[in-house]
């Protein structure tokens, strides 16, 4: 009787057995509930203006059905705005909305797609992340996986409802690529070639990661690893075929010869096809002859020839995507965006609430490298994880845009660090893996701590310079405030506003046209909105006339006068505080509105009408 009772007590419950067999399902439900609750409470885990532009882009695709024309209506600088995102990044949302539109209506279906599709993309992302954790070799992946996910939550918040930018798709494709790299089969390599082409077609932002993917397949072939010849050939052939096929699907025939460095076009397909064909051909050329030196030389010759051809054919793409922008726009806006800086140039790195989390990310990113430093710890999955973790860390430090992806790799590294610190008799026994830990229990966290301390010392000794804040940035400061832009705009209304406010307006189903939004293809509009509020501009009306704007929208200050603001930016301060010049007329706005709206004049010279749905004129403070 007692034996039966002991066996029953030792036997795990059905719920625990269900979780152990399906940890991805349980973790997905937990994350989906958490993100949905936060969304319903008004918290935006990623308050990115690109989501607003993406909503407008998807709506336009559904309304026109033209996949090749990426000119977006509603953004009139007055030059047309041509999106640099290919239509394939809109496809999941457009397809979902099209499916539900007959039942829910067009706009509700679009809102439902914005809510549901990121969560649906989270399911395969978590599946591949779990496969990566399993491949690393933890004794109990069902314990290691949720811990890694908690540490990496910041990256997976890219799948929150309403987060419809392309970053979640990038993360999903990279996780799928990493999971497939753990397999030695030729089919996995072939699929990875297709995924590489697709990822670069979505955005070249992840090109460094996929260069490393190519390097891993090249390494296997160079050093004659089992199946390496088949894998590099399959990967290269699939990448070349995928690149050409996606080029035909994304680029209209009339633009086959056009060169656009910031979106998928002839430079990208040429680079992918050249690399892919090189990988497919080198095993045939080398055969079984020669050693690793000869194979390395053959690959380097192909790589050098491809690079030289790309430089000669597309020299304009050697610079950054922002190189062609006006210096005024780069200095006043682009170079002031925090994600466009390195960690060495950001003024908010140390002595802030975010620094401890940065130190944890550094620890997690470097922990796998400590394990791989010992020969007995070098398993293929761990070496691959280490390489990608180090690359992600280098990218995040050098260019903060990549910082959002670092937790993906740091999450697993922090599980290793935690396992080395907790006693084996408790949680530690569930986090064991075949990979031997470092001899000293603190060795896994030491490199990350050293890097964090070095970052602190650098910023305390070399304080990053902070340029003067442009007037347009001050006038755009209410972007994060919860507000609905005014409705009922007159026909033909064109609003000149700072870029972030413009992004709010352009996302409306029925709103005014805008001069600019916060995205680099709108550089001409950005320049006009910044110069309009710049104290150095002698005649702001000339900017309104050049942009053909009928209205001005700006963040409002309803409190007492701000002498400092008035002294630094007299014209902008007058608009913010509600003291416009005679040639602008303030429109009525709700008392709770963080905006002030001014009417100017129509193209025919008549006075522009105010939005019809606004309430009584806001009382002067």
* Residue ranges in 137-182 assigned as alpha helix (H): 141-151, 153-156, 167-181
In angstroms, the CA 553 to CA 593 distance is 11
pLDDT of residue 620: 33
Q: Could you give the angle at the alpha carbon of 252 between the alpha carbons of 233 and 324, nearest 5°? A: 90
In angstroms, the CA 303 to CA 427 distance is 48
pLDDT of residue 376: 74
| 453: CB partners within 8 A, 6+ apart | none
DSSP string, 400-448: GGGGGGHHHHHHHHHHHHHHHHS-TTTGGGGS--SSPPPSSTTTTTHHH
Find, among 127, 144, 117, 133, the residue nearest to 28 by Cα.
127
- Residues across the chain: 621
Q: Which residues pair with 597 in a beta bridge?
A: 553
Instruction: Judge whether 335 and 445 are in contact, CB under 8 Å.
Output: no
In angstroms, the CA 530 to CA 209 distance is 36
DSSP 8-state secondary structure symbol assigned to residue 521: G
pLDDT of residue 201: 95
And the tokens for 249?
A: 């699907």
Instruction: Judge whether 127 and 180 are in contact, CB under 8 Å.
Output: no
Instruction: Judge whether 306 and 505 are in contact, CB under 8 Å.
Output: no
Find, among 347, 342, 441, the residue nearest to 401 by Cα.
342
pLDDT of residue 460: 85
* Residue ranges in 11-166 assigned as alpha helix (H): 14-21, 23-40, 49-64, 91-104, 106-136, 141-151, 153-156
Find, among 434, 438, 447, 407, the residue nearest to 420 by Cα.
438
Reduced to 3 states (helix: H, G, I; strand: E, B; else coil), residue 513 is strand
Find, among 499, 439, 477, the residue nearest to 573 by Cα.
477
pLDDT of residue 403: 92
DSSP string, 112-137: HHHHHHHHHHHHHHHHHHHHHHHHHT
The label of the residue with tokens 């088949």 reads 230
Q: Using one digit for the tens of pLDDT, what is the confidence trace for 423-451?
A: 665 666 777 776 665 456 788 899 999 99
pLDDT of residue 436: 60
In angstroms, the CA 197 to CA 236 distance is 10
| Beta-strand pair 551-555/494-496 | parallel
DSSP 8-state secondary structure symbol assigned to residue 336: G
pLDDT of residue 614: 47
pLDDT of residue 5: 47
In angstroms, the CA 508 to CA 487 distance is 9
Q: Using one digit for the tens of pLDDT, what is the confidence trace for 3-22?
A: 554 454 455 677 777 888 88
In angstroms, the CA 23 to CA 1 distance is 34
In angstroms, the CA 613 to CA 590 distance is 10
Find, among 475, 598, 584, the residue nearest to 531 by Cα.
475
pLDDT of residue 384: 95
The label of the residue with tokens 């790299």 reads 181
In angstroms, the CA 306 to CA 283 distance is 17
Reduced to 3 states (helix: H, G, I; strand: E, B; else coil), residue 56 is helix
**Could you tell me the mean pLDDT of each successive run of 10 residues in the chain, 621 residues long?**
49 74 92 93 82 93 92 92 92 95 93 96 97 90 92 94 93 96 91 96 94 95 89 95 96 90 92 94 78 88 92 87 84 85 83 83 94 82 95 94 94 90 69 62 89 90 80 87 73 93 89 92 93 93 93 91 89 93 90 89 87 50 31
Cβ neighbourhood burial of 431 (10 Å; 0-12, 13-18, 19+)? buried
In angstroms, the CA 235 to CA 188 distance is 8
In angstroms, the CA 257 to CA 558 distance is 53
Q: Using one digit for the tens of pLDDT, what is the confidence trace for 119-176?
A: 999 999 999 999 999 999 888 888 999 999 999 999 999 999 999 989 999 999 999 9
Q: Distance between the two ends of the chain, CA-based, in angstroms?
A: 82
The label of the residue with tokens 């509603």 reads 74
Give the H or E element holding residue 456.
helix 446-461
Q: Which residues pair with 82 in a beta bridge?
A: 71
| Sign of the CA dihedral running 296, 302, 308, 314 | negative
Instruction: Judge whether 143 and 18 are in contact, CB under 8 Å.
Output: no
| Beta-strand pair 585-586/595-599 | antiparallel
Reduced to 3 states (helix: H, G, I; strand: E, B; else coil), residue 532 is helix
Q: What φ, ψ does residue 615 adopt, rounded to 5°?
A: -95, -155
């Amino acid at each position: 009787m007692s034996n039966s009772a002991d066996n029953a007590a030792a036997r795990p419950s059905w719920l625990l057995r269900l979780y152990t067999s399906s940890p991805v399902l349980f973790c997905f439900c937990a994350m989906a509930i958490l993100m949905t609750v936060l969304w319903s409470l008004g918290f935006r885990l990623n308050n990115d203006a690109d989501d607003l532009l993406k909503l407008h882009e998807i709506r336009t695709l559904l309304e026109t059905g033209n996949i090749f024309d990426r000119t977006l209506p509603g953004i009139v600088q007055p030059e047309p705005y041509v999106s640099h995102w290919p239509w394939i990044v809109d496809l999941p949302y457009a397809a979902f909305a099209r499916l539900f539109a007959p039942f829910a209506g067009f706009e509700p279906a679009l809102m439902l797609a914005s809510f549901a599709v990121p969560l649906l993309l989270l399911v395969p992302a978590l599946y591949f992340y779990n496969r990566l954790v399993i491949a690393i070799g933890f004794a109990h992946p069902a314990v290691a996986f949720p811990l890694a996910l908690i540490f990496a939550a910041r990256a997976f918040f890219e799948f929150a409802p309403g987060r419809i930018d392309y970053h979640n798709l990038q993360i999903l494709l990279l996780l799928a690529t990493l999971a497939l790299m753990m397999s030695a089969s030729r089919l996995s390599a072939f699929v990875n070639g297709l995924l590489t082409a697709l990822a670069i077609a979505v955005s070249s932002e992840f090109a460094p990661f996929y260069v490393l993917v190519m390097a891993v397949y090249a390494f296997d072939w160079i050093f004659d690893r089992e199946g390496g010849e088949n894998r590099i050939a399959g990967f290269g052939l699939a990448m070349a075929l995928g690149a050409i096929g996606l080029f035909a699907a994304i680029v209209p025939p009339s633009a086959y010869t056009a060169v656009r460095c910031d979106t998928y076009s002839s430079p990208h397909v040429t680079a992918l096809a050249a690399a892919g064909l090189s990988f497919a051909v080198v095993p045939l050329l080398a055969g079984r002859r020669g050693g690793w030196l000869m194979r390395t030389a053959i690959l380097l010759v192909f790589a050098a020839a491809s690079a030289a051809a790309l430089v000669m054919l597309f020299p304009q793409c050697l610079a950054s995507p922002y190189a062609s922008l006006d210096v005024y726009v780069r200095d006043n806006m682009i170079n002031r965006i925090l994600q466009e800086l390195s960690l060495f140039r950001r003024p908010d790195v140390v002595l802030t609430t975010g620094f401890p989390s940065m130190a944890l990310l550094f620890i997690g990113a470097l922990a796998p490298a400590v394990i791989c430093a010992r020969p007995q710890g070098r398993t293929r999955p761990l070496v691959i994880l280490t390489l990608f973790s180090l690359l992600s860390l280098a990218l995040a430090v050098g260019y903060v845009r990549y910082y959002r992806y670092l937790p993906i790799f740091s999450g697993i590294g922090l599980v290793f660090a935690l396992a080395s610190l907790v006693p084996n008799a408790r949680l530690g026994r569930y986090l064991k893996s075949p990979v031997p830990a470092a001899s000293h229990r603190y060795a896994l966290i030491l490199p990350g701590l050293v890097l964090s301390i070095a970052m602190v010392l650098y910023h305390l000794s070399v304080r990053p310079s902070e340029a003067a804040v442009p007037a347009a940035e001050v006038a755009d400061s209410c972007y994060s405030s919860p507000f609905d832009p005014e409705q009922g705009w007159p026909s033909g209304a064109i609003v000149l506003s700072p870029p972030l406010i413009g992004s709010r307006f352009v996302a409306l189903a029925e709103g005014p046209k805008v001069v600019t939004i916060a995205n680099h293809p709108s550089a001409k509009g950005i320049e006009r909105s910044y110069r309009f509020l710049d104290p150095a501009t002698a005649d702001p009306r000339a900017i309104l006339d050049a942009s053909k704007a009928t209205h001005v929208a700006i963040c409002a200050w309803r409190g007492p006068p701000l002498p400092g603001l008035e002294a630094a930016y007299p014209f902008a301060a007058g608009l913010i505080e509600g003291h416009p010049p005679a040639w602008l007329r303030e429109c009525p706005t709700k008392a709770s509105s963080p905006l002030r709206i001014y009417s100017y004049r129509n193209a025919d010279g008549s006075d522009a009408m105010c939005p019809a749905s606004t309430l009584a004129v806001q009382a002067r403070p």
